Each structure stands twice: as structure tokens, then as C-alpha cells.
Structure 1
Amino acid sequence: MKKVLSIGLVCFSSLVLAQTKPDGTFVQYVNPFIGTGAVDKNSLSGSNFPGSTVPFGFVQLSPDTRDAPDDPASGYDYNDKTIVGFSHNHLSGTGVADLFDVLMMPTTGDVKFNAGTPDKPHSGYSSAFSHKEETARPGYYQVMLKDYNINAELTSTSHVGLHRYTFPQNAQSHIIIDMDHSLDKKRGYWSCKIIGAEIRVVDDHTIEGYRILSGWAKLRKIYFHAEFSKPFISTVLASGGKTYPDLTIINGSNLKAALNFNTADKEQIMVKVGLSPVSTENARMNIKAELPGWDFNATSSQSSAQWEKELSKIKIDGTLEQKQIFYTGLYHAFTQPNNMADVNGDYQATDLSIANAPDKTHYSTFSLWDTYRAAHPLYTLIQPEKTTAFINSMMRQYDSYGYLPIWQLWGDENYCMIGNHAIPVIVDAALKGIPGFNVEKAYAAIKGSSLTDHPGSPFTAWAKYQYIPEDVESQSVSITLEVAYDDWCVAQLAKKLGKDEDYDLFIKRSEFYKNLYNTKTGFFQAKLKDGSWQEPFNPQSYGGNGGSPYTEANAWQYFWYVPQNVSGLIGLVGGNTAFNQKLDTFFTLRDKPGEVNGNASGFIGQYAHGNEPSHHITYLYDFSGQPWKTQFYVAKVLNELYNNSSSGYSGNEDCGQMSSWYTFSSMGFYPVNPANGVYAIGSPILKHAEISLGGGKTFTMDAKNVGKNNCYIQSVKLNGKAYGKTYITQNDIADGGKLEFVMGSKPNKNWGTKPTDVPLAWGY
């Protein structure tokens, strides 16, 4: 990361924040531009979008800077100079693009649907813009479209996007609707195709339509209903290269429309667009329920107020930059999962049928390979009601599809990534006693999902070989390690429910990771069906998402993935001394040229904070008697791999996981095993944090002498008593209490190092 560029962007983002400071104690610190653009070609940005959304809402109304979004997956790159329009839903921080439905763009002059080159088919109505004339805050986005001298403002409710366009005087003013805009149809990971679409002119101030398409989600249906505050004079509908003036309905696979106006100077036209995955009638109903009027400022204020309420669940004190990173992180963590249900509870189920949720909520956008690690444990602390709704939504997939979500988008299972990580999410909630879901039914779902073969989960081979052979399933080492962890989770819930035979089965399977440990190389290494080691072997060789035993990582990064039995991993290596020496090498061994691919960034030696397999590793010295090294590396990541600029994350933000790591770690603790209710102690960088737990209970953290040079713990108190353990438990937090740190510039090697204090067997 280039310091000069980074500093410049920090200053600019802070300036924007100061100029547009909204009312409210917490929303004032959210800067939606964090994570929207890398500073150089060798770094990642976060892949976030700056537009308007409400907490866990269906609509994310935001600008797209690319004609065919692909990378970044959010559709917006801070480094771009052109906006092609404003579409109504976006993914936050993912590595793969999708959505971008119902793009709108205000223009003046001649209508040019198909101007430009084949590589830029929409350039006829795109516009240059400048960050000096762009603003973003929770519930509001604004930009001046320089080519047309049009000021565009956006806000939203859960299911409705509201646009306000301020036009110049012009007899040829237009609002373009593009139903062909999508992720890259030629170069994307998943084949994208518009299967069918429709635009219908209802009257001179109403447009409806839909499109059906494939993409990362294998089949999506999106319906819209749009109302305009001013009647349009005429329309031009287009299908491919043909245009049809004043046609009232058009069907096809490449549809656009131009709605024509005669505008006075500084005349404002508003558009409210309701979305539904079910029908245009439901889209119309969503508008009627959520946005019957035309008060843009009130709508924006209401959205901001929703964010203020959610962000207030953790109150912190720290530097301005820390507050901006922290509250923007909470903002990103609460951007998804998204409520797919219309206001009447209708939603598209995983089997593509239309179902109804009695509680009017059905959540999707489950990036579980990422979020089970820290985002979902964070939700259990400060969003327990949402956790219940998430689990009930996951259970509906099990009912209609046969197994729990792996990576669910738009109610559709896309099979991205590995493992079955709805399991730790459900088990964690059940063990923490979160109410509102049927635990016995949930157990049946996690057991069934752990015994039934499905894509990426060959459980027949798992039972036969007691590891995943690479010649049966690619990414075999990563799958073996992650399924072993999932099995440990199943065992814990079986134990709680008194299902002893199941406990014995799954706790035995949770130890299968040992079968891929090669004592000669000192790594978990791929085996074939015949039991032989796959050769050649290079522990620094990276894998992507297939064709390698490792998933978006290498053997160094996956060596540490035994969160269910860290003491057992220490035993494999030969004890604490050997374990610490290996950790030391891990954090200092540099990559050789050409051995790092695009899935990894944010390096400290082999540690890659930009991707999830590394996220727990800084905390492992807590298990092996050298907690001061955990403190050093956690502080290093917090202070060097996060910032408040457009390049604020060291990798894709991944639907709240990157932010949740910061949220926990900045307060001084982190869930190494995200389903056992224990948090390893790291190095707090905030002066104060207060977590609202509901029922009048709070958990408070205070840190004395915090600072970039004071990363080492000198002493700890828990509820006023001296505390020497390197972890706290869920009960310590849930009961309410106070955790106090005294920090210093040199390690206190007497704290947390006694054998009786080392957490060899964490759990309930």
C-alpha cells in the first residue's frame, strides 16, 4: 500500500465527511466511501458501494461506474471517472459480481441508446463526475453528473429506491431505464444472460416491468414499479438496436426506455422505484406501504435514523479515524443479509417457488464461508433477533432444498466456496440460548446437511476414507479441515441435546483432520484415494477455487485451521515451543515472486489478512504461552491494514467479515472458535467500548494508555478483579460486566503465561 496515495485519500475522505456531517451521534462517523477503491493495482479495496440502503434492506441504490460490472463486484470503483447510471441492488464486499437491477440515468440532449464501441455499449448516456461534487452518508448519496449538469440524489427504504434529479433548463431532458445492465456477460465467473424482460408504460407517470436472468444466482426474477413526480411528455422504448417511439409495452432480452421531459432551470423530478422478487403487484404494494408520499428529505432522515439506532448498539471512544473505521465497519456488517420478503411476506424460495414468511422476513445473501467466523458471532451479541430470523430463513432452504445454505444469493444456492458453515452459525446461537427457533428441528437440519452428499461435500467419501482425497474432490485439504470443524459443531449440539450416539460419531469425524498431517513436511497435505501423498508439494503454492488442495490460500495459511482443537494441533507439532517457532516463521516468511495470486493480500509474512483463512491466526500465541506476540500482531493488523480511505480494507470486505474482525479486535477480543462462546484476548486500540446487550445489561471495555506504541497488555481486570487468563467467555459478556486493560510499550511476559491460564480446552 503506497503511503502517499493513502494519506491523500484519507484527507479527502475526512473532508467529505466534515462537509456533509449528518445529525446523530454515530452516523456522523460512517464514511461509505471506505473500501470503494484500491490505491494501486497490487491492493484490494473492499469492493463496497457508496449508495443508499437501510439496515438489512432489500434495496441498495448506488452508482455504477462500469458498463458491465465485474471487478470490483460492487459496481463502483473510486478510481473511475464515469458513472453509467444508478441501479437498485448491489453486493457489499464480495469477490463476485451480480444484481445491478433496473438501472436509471438522467440525461439531456439526444437519446443515444447504443452509442459507443462494442466494449462500451452504454457510453452514449454515461457521464463524467468528480469526487469534489460527490457526497455519501447513511441513507443518502449525491453526485453532480458533469456531462448534463444534473445533480442526482438517492435515498431508500427497505424495498424502495427514491431518486431526486435536479435538471437544467432543457427541452430534451430524459430519464433512461436500462433493463440490460448486468454483470459482465462475457468475462464473469458465472454465465450471465437476460432470459426475458418487459417494460410497460402504465400511464404518463408510471412504468412497470421485470427481467429474468441467470448469473451468480443461477436464476433470478426481479420486478419493478416506478412512479414519477412529473408526467413525462413521451417515451422511446428500445429492444436491441431498434427503437419504438410511444410504444406502451415491449418484451425482449435487451430492453431500454427513455422517458422524455421539458424541464425548467433547477427543476426537480423524483422517481420512486419499488422492487420485488415476486411480482409487479408486490412491487407496487411495497411502495404503497413504505413510501406513499414524495418527501425526499424525510425519507433520507428516516433511513439515517434507522442506522443511528443500529450503530448505537456499541458506543466507543477513540481517535476520529478509529471511530470512522469502526462505525463504517458496523454499517457494512449490517448491510446484509438482506430481507428478500415483500411487505406481505412473499419471497422466492430456493426451489424457485413463491412462499410466504409469516414474520414478513426472509433473509438471503449468506456469504457463510466468510461471515461465520466473526460477523455472525457479532450478530449474536448485538443482533440476536436478526440471528433468529437468519436461522429461520436458513431452515426454509433446508425444507425446500434438502440442506442448509452454503452461499445463498437472492434465495438461490450458488454453491460458492466450501464447507457447510450454516452449521456453526446455528450451533453458536443454540448454545448461547438465543430464542425464537426450533432447536430440535435445527439439529435435524445440521445433521442431515452433514450426512447427505451435495456439491462440494462428498460425505460418502468422508466416511470411507476419513479424509477427502484430492482425486475425489478438489480443494481437498481445505474441505477436510473445514468439514472437521463443522462436525465438531454438530457434536456440541448433539451433546447438549443428549444425543450420545450422534456425539460420538461427529466428535470422531472432527478429528479426521489429523489424517492429512504429513509428519515429514509438517503440513496438512493432500492425499489420493490410495493413501499416497500428492506430489510435488510446495507449502507456499496458492490455490484458488479449484485445481488445488487449498481454497484461496496455501498450506501455510491452512495449517492453523483447527479452531475446535488448538491444543491437539499444538500436540501434532510437538508442543508449545515448536508451535511458537512455526508461528514465528509464518509471520516472517516472505513469498517468492509469482507465488501470490489475486485471492490474497494484506501480508505479514505468510499471514494474509485480506482473506478469511488467516483471520484467527494472530490469536494463536494465546494458546501456547506467548500472548504478547498475539498482542503485537493483532495491533499491527489493526493499525496498518485498516484505514479510513477508499482503500480502507486489505481485501474484499466480504459481507461484514473484514469489518467484524476489526470490531471485535479493536475492543480487545476475538472468537477464534466462532461456536464455542470463548473469545481470545488480543490488543485493544480503543479507549472505551460499551456493548448494549438488551435488558438493561451492558458489557464495557476500558483501556488505559492505548496508543500505536503501547500495544502490550500490562495487566487486566475483569469486574474489578485481577485477571490473568488469555480469554473471556460468552457468559462474562452476556451477564454484563467490565473488562479493563492497562497497556504499555513493552511486553509483560508474566501476564497470561501460566500453564493453568492457557485455554487448552475451551468451550461451554
Structure 2
Amino acid sequence: MRMHFSLQTTICLVASACGRSVAAQADYTNYVNVFMGTTGGGNRFPGVVAAPFAMVKLGPDVQSGTTDAYSGYLPSGNIWGFSMMHESGTGGAPKYGVVSQMPVVGNVSNPLADLSQGRAAADQGQIGYYKSSLTSGVTVELAAMEHAGLYQYSFPSGSSSSVVVDVSHVLPSFRGLGWEQHYSGGNFTYSSDGHYEGSGTYNNGWNLSPDWTIYFCGRFSQQPSSMKTFKGTGTTLSSYDSTPSVSGTERVGGVFTFTQTNLTSRVGISFISSSKACENLDREIQESTSLQSLMNNAKSKWNAQVLSKVQVSGASDADLQLLYSSLLGMFLIPSNRTGENPGWSSAEPYYDDSFTLWDTHRCHTALFHILEPVAYEEFIRSLIDIWRHDGFMSDARSSNYNGRVQGGSNQDNVLADAYVKGVRGAINWQDGFSAMQTDAEETPPNNHDPKAPDSSTKEGRGALPDWLKYGYITPAFTRAVSRAVEYSTNDFGLYQVASGLGNSADAQKYLTRSRNWRNHWNPAATSNNHSGFVVPRLANGSFVAQDPLGCGGCYWGDAYYEDNPWVYSLNAIHDVYTMKKFIGGDDKFVDRINKLWDLKIFNAGNEPSFTSPYLYNFVKGKQYMSVQRSRDIGKLYNSGAAGLPGNSDAGAMESNILWQMIGLYPMTGQTTFLVLSPWFPQLSIDLGNGRRLEITTTGGNKDSAYYVQSLKVNGENWTKAWVTYQDVFASGGTMEFVLGSTPADWATDDLPPSPASGDL
């Protein structure tokens, strides 16, 4: 695979050094490896995404035995189509892989047969461009706009050229968990001018969605010498002839054959209608539009909207590649589908493919807000509008359908984070709070998920009956303990917004409920010289015996989801002082965090662990330990194909390493950022409207002399191991670090706030 990098080793930041115009004109895409995180479980999508949040994600679909291709891509195996829609960095089961076409050398005798091809060379890619060379001799090059894609084919000379459009094409899952997608039916029509239209209907996938439909419209650069439609089941044809239209629940599609060996195919998609798909195509990619112009357009948009927002100097090529490749991975999804919502008519923005806020609320959405504030406000408005029309906001959503909720209603955390940081614009915050209250007070109908049949996994808080009745969650509900910890943080989010809106009664109620995680704390639970862990609790109030190092399968049917009591006992980040007290004071608290590494519990690729390494900042004199953990985590990343320590999870993993580079870490739902240690001598973040955060380091280096010796914030000596959003982001600011090779006791002032802890 090709990594398209420039030889430039630094990007100018300071005007006196090289002029701001140089920095403004830099092509940061030269540092992006689109294949970062595509192997080793990262599941990132390497294909063409023409702009942040683009609806079209055009790339290859690869089959390799019984391996799930979550983003369509696998590094080895045969390509069996190139499709218009994909997710990025998700797990569970693949979603989309629809509106596909496959080039075939020669005439096609059976379009329902396996037409897949191996690759003659490794795929190549950069922002706005993707290339596959097939063993059949066909070269496929891809480019796109937000709602349309361009396929450029080069066939071997001396044979006819065919393109098969298979409406039934959808990414499969082989895990046997009941999460595989299904094709329900479709229609396909071609016209005498060679253009075609149609739609496909699909269902299921990881979010268990019912039938949903995508429409398409395609045009070729050459008039076909032959056009046929087909219908059949499996690989058995029931019709294959020149009839210009087919439809039904059988597999349907069309085959176009050409005498030319070089041709392009333009395809538009829409969730509204095939005529809207044609409109999208004709507006975005005309017959004269070149692949190169689309590449240039994509690079321009990514540079302007995301990549140029972060500028550094003094960085190695490897770190620049990691920085800008991570920024790409952060903004591939969600998908901006404003104007493409088939569910309701609204003047509000509409975003889909939030997959999932359980993954992204811890650190992704806080950086989303800082780097893309306009889109972030739109995203918040979209969440609220989904509540207006669907009844609940979405913790996860794809194909215009909510699901699946893994823990709490973490959209509440996201709204709270936006509110306390002053995000207003066109957001109706009274509606926003009402949407949050729906999560907090209304039990969603059970969608009877086979993996967790006790309550809804579609939306809201399925275990709410226990939460309201007992103030904790009994084993009658799956994931009882991890849900309880998350419900506490969700209720803290409601407290934050209610307080800001002047609703004192609700604020007090939800602040009290935010402390209910304490009801799962069993001081008698012991493990490795530590006492006190969150454990399951029965309706009669008794605790269930629980080995804090165990969690069963750590999955849907267990008391803890994707981690164990050691980790979840440190997850009430709004109530850290109480955690410290329960654990036994500062020394025990530090040792409790240390044990995550000593006992090999900590997993940098798993979101419940994300904040734990930086809780040392809540103990005076221990900020350096957060820095050390931060640097250790940084070593697990690189910009290569296996460069992520776990599933990208819609960019959650990439946002985590970006915060390490910046030298701060967000406490979601609060204005607090914990101070770590920046990677670069100079880093500048464009905050919009002429505001910037300028971060500098002197006296040290990223790899060996990274401990904070002193810090100035906005020119003033700073002796706290935390800053607030207002300090450095609201109006911009400066942070001047002095670094060294040994720890220094510099953070002697107040500890970070623990707003739910009261007078503890």
C-alpha cells in the first residue's frame, strides 16, 4: 500500500520563522496515511471520503474466508465490489457496503456468480483518491463528492469491458451473532441513453434496524454496446435479458458491456428517491468532471476544514504522519445527511452514523467541538431533532435508526459537555434538556434484543425501572453495574444543564441521582490488597459476591460491559473525591491506578479505561505519573496500517492520541481539562473567529525529557494540574511549558474539581 508523504519535516507555525502564508497554504494531506488503523482490529475505512462527514464513502469490499470486513476493506482477499457506503472503525458487525459495481473482463455469462478478483498489487490511496489493480488486468480508480462517486476503469486491451451492478450487494457478517445485514429486495431500470436508476432495501446489521432503502442513479462516459438486467436467487438466474426493468425480492441488477477499454462511471445516491440521486449526481459530478479535480477538491476541503486547524513545528515526520492521519480518522463519521432524511421533514441539520457515543463521548466529542465547532453545533441540534421525531435521542444510530445502546444514555454527557462550554447558536436548550429528561425518566420499549433481552438496547436507559426504584440496578438487567456507573454520569449531565437553565429543583434531583453509583460500592469486596469495588446488588440490598478481576464474558449478558470492576470502580469521573475516599485516600488511590498496569488490566484500546491514566492529577505531587502513562500510551500508536491499539471506534482511538499530543485531557460534562505534557515545541489550534490556542515547550523533548517543570497560562505562572475551557479555549490563549527529564513538584495549588462530591 502506498503512503503519500512529502519530504517536508516541519510545518511552519510562527510568522517570523516562515510566514503564516506558508502555513496556510501547506498541503497537510501529504502527511496522511489513509491506511492507518485498517489492520490489527482498527477497522478504519481507507477509501474515498471527499469531505469531513461526507455521506458517500466509496471503496472496495473484500472477502477473505469468514473474516468480517467491518469497513469493507481487508488487506488480503478478493475484491467482490466497489460500493458507495461504508462505516469506519466500527465493530460488532459490518454495516452498509451498498450501491456496488464490479468490473469484469469480457462478457458476463452469469452476473450472480462469484465475480471477485484478487489484487495484482497492494491498493493505493490518499485523501480523495483510491486505486485497486485487479488480477484480471483491470485498474479501478475512485474519487467522490459528498453524495456522488466516480469510478474510473482501465480494462486490458483486446477484450470487451463489462460492469455489473448488483443491487443485492451488502457486507456480510460471519460471527453468528444475529447481527448480519440482509437484502430485502430492490429494483433496477436502465434507459436507452445508458443511464440507470433504482433502489435497494436492506435490514438488520449491528443496530438491528428494520428495512431501509437507498436510491441510486448511474451514468457512464460511453454508450454501452449491450445492456441487460438480471434476476435470480443465490447464483441461479431466473432472467437475464434486455428487459430494461426488474424488481422484486430476488437479487436484481444490470450488466453493461462496452467496446472501449477506458471508461468512467458516475453514481449518485439518496435516501429520498432515485430522482434525488440523479440530482445529487448531476450537481456534484458532471460528465466533464475529472478524477484529478475531485482529488484536489477533497484535499482542499480536508485541509481547510480539519487538517489546517492544528499546526506544529519541531515534529518528526513520524509524528506529523500520526497527527494528521489521526485527524482524518476522527472525522470520517458521523455522516452529515442534512436534506437526506427520509423519516421527517425538518429545517434542522441531520447526522447519522453516530456509531457510537458510548465510544466517543469520553474524548472525541470534546475535540470535535474544538476543531469543528459549526458541525458540532449541527450535530447537537440533530440529536435533539431525532428526539423530537423518534422519541429518544440516539446513543448510536445508522441507516436512520437508533441502536444499539451498550451502557448509559451517553448523548446526555455530550449535550452537557456542549452546554457547560457555552455552545449555543441555534440550539434550543429547553428542548435539549427535555430530550435529556426523556432518557432520565422514560423507560424505552423493549426491542427484545436476543443478546440482551431484558430491556431496550435501541435507545434510552433500558434498566431505568431499577434505577428509579432502588437507586441501583439489579442483576435482573444485563450489564447492571457498568450501566449504573454510566447512568450516574448521565444524571450528572442533567444536573449541569438544569443548573445552567436555572432549574434548581431538577438540578438537585439529578445531582443526587448522579451519586447512585456509590450504591454499588461494596467495601468488603477485595482484590490484590485493595478493598472496595462496584459490584452487582440484589433487590434486597445484598451484594453479590464478585471477583474484582473478573467480569464473566465482559459482554452483553454480563454485569460489566467490556471491562471489569477495577476499571469501572474508577469511572465516576464527576465524583473523584468520593472514589478517593472509598478507596482509602491518596496513597491507596495512586496504588489503585498503578494496579491497572501491575495486574495487566489496563487496555489502551478499550474506552472504559480512557480516563483512568490521568486521575493521578487528583493527587498533589503526582501529575508526573499521568505524564508517564500518557507517554507509554503514545508508544502504542503509529501511522501505519496496524497503528491503533484497538478498534478505531469511529475515531475515539484517534482522538485519544490527539489529546496526548496536545497535552490536555477532557473531563466530559465538565469544563475541566487535566494537564499532561505536549509533544511538540510548538502547537497551535485554530479555534475560529481569530482565536487560537498556542502551546509551547522548552527545555525538554517528547521522548525522554517530558516532565513538566513549570507552566504559564496566558502569561501567568500556573500551579494547578488542570485548566478550564474558559482559561484556554473560549477566547484562545497560551500555555508555555518548561519540560525536563525528572519529575518536579510544580502543581501545588488546588486539585481539579470533583463537582458531585459535595463536602467530602
Q: TM-score with structure 2 length normalisation?
A: 0.89
User: Which residue in 1 is equivalent to 2:153?
Assistant: 165
Tell me if 1:649 matches 2:644.
yes
Cα distance, 1:260 vs structure 2: 3.6
Tell me if 1:568 matches 2:578.
yes
Q: For 2:690 and 2:561, locate their aligned partners in 1 and report how far apart those are by CA, in whole Å.
A: 43
Cα distance, 1:69 vs structure 2: 8.4
Which letter does structure 2 place at the counterpart of 1:468?
I
Which letter does structure 2 place at the counterpart of 1:227?
R
Which letter does structure 2 place at the counterpart of 1:634?
S
Q: For 1:483 and 1:606, locate their aligned partners in 2 and report how far apart those are by CA, in whole Å.
A: 23
Distance 1:234 1:263, change over 3 A: closer
Which letter does structure 1 place at the counterpart of 2:328?
Y
Secondary structure of the residue that 1:570 maps to in structure 2? helix
Secondary structure of the residue that 2:441 maps to in structure 1? coil
Tell me if 1:444 matches 2:454.
no
Q: For 1:516 and 1:35, locate their aligned partners in 2 and report how far apart those are by CA, in whole Å.
A: 37
Q: For 2:548 and 2:726, locate their aligned partners in 1 and report how far apart those are by CA, in whole Å.
A: 43
Name which of structure 1's ranges 533-542 and 500-509 shifts more when overlaid on structure 2.
533-542
Q: For 1:364 and 1:542, locate their aligned partners in 2 and report how far apart those are by CA, in whole Å.
A: 30
Secondary structure of the residue that 2:199 maps to in structure 1? strand
Q: For 1:309 and 1:694, locate their aligned partners in 2 and report how far apart those are by CA, in whole Å.
A: 12
User: Which residue in 2 is equivalent to 1:758?
Assistant: 751
Distance 1:261 1:174, change over 3 A: same
Distance 1:256 1:70, change over 3 A: farther
Q: 1:220 aligns with which of 199, 212, 218?
A: 212
User: Which residue in 2 is equivalent to 1:718?
Assistant: 713
Which letter does structure 1 place at the counterpart of 2:563?
A
Which letter does structure 2 place at the counterpart of 1:470?
P
Cα distance, 1:647 vs structure 2: 0.4
Cα distance, 1:218 vs structure 2: 3.0
Tell me if 1:487 matches 2:491.
yes
Distance 1:364 1:646, change over 3 A: closer
Distance 1:29 1:112, change over 3 A: farther
Which letter does structure 2 place at the counterpart of 1:373?
R
Distance 1:68 1:280, change over 3 A: farther
Q: For 1:112 and 1:580, locate their aligned partners in 2 and report how far apart those are by CA, in whole Å.
A: 69
Q: 2:244 aligns with which of 240, 245, 248?
A: 248
Which letter does structure 2 place at the counterpart of 1:717?
K
Q: Percent identity?
A: 26
Q: For 1:545 and 1:48, locate their aligned partners in 2 and report how far apart those are by CA, in whole Å.
A: 25
Q: For 1:690 and 1:383, locate their aligned partners in 2 and report how far apart those are by CA, in whole Å.
A: 15
Tell me if 1:184 matches 2:178.
no
Q: For 1:459 and 1:751, locate their aligned partners in 2 and report how far apart those are by CA, in whole Å.
A: 44
Q: 1:691 aligns with which of 685, 699, 702?
A: 685
Distance 1:199 1:577, change over 3 A: same
Q: TM-score with structure 1 length normalisation?
A: 0.88
User: Which residue in 2 is equivalent to 1:381?
Assistant: 370
Secondary structure of the residue that 2:63 maps to in structure 1? coil
Q: For 2:753 and 2:49, locate their aligned partners in 1 and report how far apart those are by CA, in whole Å.
A: 46
Cα distance, 1:309 vs structure 2: 0.6
Q: 1:418 aligns with which of 407, 420, 443?
A: 407
Name which of structure 1's ranges 610-619 and 433-442 shifts more when overlaid on structure 2.
433-442
Q: 2:268 aligns with which of 264, 271, 274?
A: 274
1:523-542 map, 5 Å = 523-541=533-551
Secondary structure of the residue that 2:540 maps to in structure 1? coil
Asked if the contact 1:687/1:702 (under 8 Å) is kept, the reply is yes
Q: For 1:542 and 1:291, locate their aligned partners in 2 and report how far apart those are by CA, in whole Å.
A: 52
1:554-703 map, 5 Å = 554-589=564-599, 605-625=600-620, 626-638=622-634, 640-671=635-666, 673-703=667-697
Q: For 1:114 and 1:248, locate their aligned partners in 2 and report how far apart those are by CA, in whole Å.
A: 16
Distance 1:452 1:410, change over 3 A: same
Q: For 1:737 and 1:634, locate their aligned partners in 2 and report how far apart those are by CA, in whole Å.
A: 23
Which letter does structure 2 place at the counterpart of 1:461?
D
Secondary structure of the residue that 1:385 maps to in structure 2? helix
Name which of structure 1's ranges 160-169 and 66-75 shifts more when overlaid on structure 2.
66-75
Q: 1:129 aligns with which of 108, 120, 125?
A: 120
Which letter does structure 2 place at the counterpart of 1:273?
V
Q: For 2:354 and 2:499, locate their aligned partners in 1 and report how far apart those are by CA, in whole Å.
A: 30
Q: 2:727 aligns with which of 723, 732, 737?
A: 732
Q: For 1:632 and 1:643, locate their aligned partners in 2 and report how far apart those are by CA, in whole Å.
A: 18
Distance 1:368 1:360, change over 3 A: closer
Name which of structure 1's ranges 486-495 and 705-714 shifts more when overlaid on structure 2.
705-714
Secondary structure of the residue that 2:673 maps to in structure 1? strand
User: Which residue in 1 is equivalent to 2:32?
Assistant: 30
Distance 1:359 1:549, change over 3 A: closer
User: Which residue in 2 is equivalent to 1:595?
Assistant: none
User: Which residue in 1 is equivalent to 2:473?
Assistant: 468
Q: For 2:734 and 2:263, locate their aligned partners in 1 and report how far apart those are by CA, in whole Å.
A: 53
Q: For 1:237 and 1:396, locate their aligned partners in 2 and report how far apart those are by CA, in whole Å.
A: 41
Which letter does structure 1 place at the counterpart of 2:136?
Y
Cα distance, 1:655 vs structure 2: 0.9
Q: For 1:579 and 1:20, locate their aligned partners in 2 and report how far apart those are by CA, in whole Å.
A: 45
Q: For 1:156 and 1:510, locate their aligned partners in 2 and report how far apart those are by CA, in whole Å.
A: 46
Distance 1:519 1:188, change over 3 A: closer
Tell me if 1:100 matches 2:100.
no
Deviations 1:280-314 (A, max 9, x none): 01111111222234322212211111111121111
Q: For 2:533 and 2:363, locate their aligned partners in 1 and report how far apart those are by CA, in whole Å.
A: 26
User: Which residue in 2 is equivalent to 1:3?
Assistant: none
Asked if the contact 1:111/1:258 (under 8 Å) is kept, the reply is no
Deviations 1:55-83 (A, max 9, x none): 111000011112798634112122x1422
Q: For 1:256 and 1:67, locate their aligned partners in 2 and report how far apart those are by CA, in whole Å.
A: 24
User: Which residue in 2 is equivalent to 1:598?
Assistant: none
Asked if the contact 2:219/2:266 (under 8 Å) is kept, the reply is yes
Cα distance, 1:460 vs structure 2: 2.3
User: Which residue in 1 is equivalent to 2:331?
Assistant: 334
Which letter does structure 1 place at the counterpart of 2:273?
S
Q: For 1:726 and 1:576, locate their aligned partners in 2 and report how far apart those are by CA, in whole Å.
A: 16
Deviations 1:132-152 (A, max 9, x none): xx321111111211x221221
Which letter does structure 2 place at the counterpart of 1:36?
T
Secondary structure of the residue that 2:286 maps to in structure 1? coil
Cα distance, 1:114 vs structure 2: 6.5
Q: For 2:534 and 2:262, locate their aligned partners in 1 and report how far apart those are by CA, in whole Å.
A: 62
User: Which residue in 1 is equivalent to 2:347?
Assistant: 358
Distance 1:18 1:693, change over 3 A: closer
Secondary structure of the residue that 1:583 maps to in structure 2? helix
Asked if the contact 2:496/2:669 (under 8 Å) is kept, the reply is no
Asked if the contact 2:63/2:77 (under 8 Å) is kept, the reply is no
Name which of structure 1's ranges 159-168 and 427-436 shifts more when overlaid on structure 2.
427-436
Kindly tell me the number of residue pairs found equivalent between the two proteins. Answer: 704
Asked if the contact 2:221/2:265 (under 8 Å) is kept, the reply is yes
Which letter does structure 2 place at the counterpart of 1:546?
W
Cα distance, 1:235 vs structure 2: 2.5
Cα distance, 1:172 vs structure 2: 2.5
Name which of structure 1's ranges 654-663 and 508-517 shifts more when overlaid on structure 2.
654-663
Deviations 1:674-695 (A, max 9, x none): 1111110112222321111112
Asked if the contact 1:81/1:129 (under 8 Å) is kept, the reply is no
Deviations 1:163-205 (A, max 9, x none): 1111222442111112222232663541422111111112342
Asked if the contact 1:85/1:126 (under 8 Å) is kept, the reply is no
Tell me if 1:53 matches 2:50.
yes
Cα distance, 1:254 vs structure 2: 4.4
Secondary structure of the residue that 2:406 maps to in structure 1? coil
Cα distance, 1:329 vs structure 2: 1.2
Tell me if 1:509 matches 2:513.
yes
Over the aligned positions, Cα root-mean-square deviation in angstroms equals 2.2
Which letter does structure 2 place at the counterpart of 1:37?
T
Q: For 1:359 and 1:151, locate their aligned partners in 2 and report how far apart those are by CA, in whole Å.
A: 42
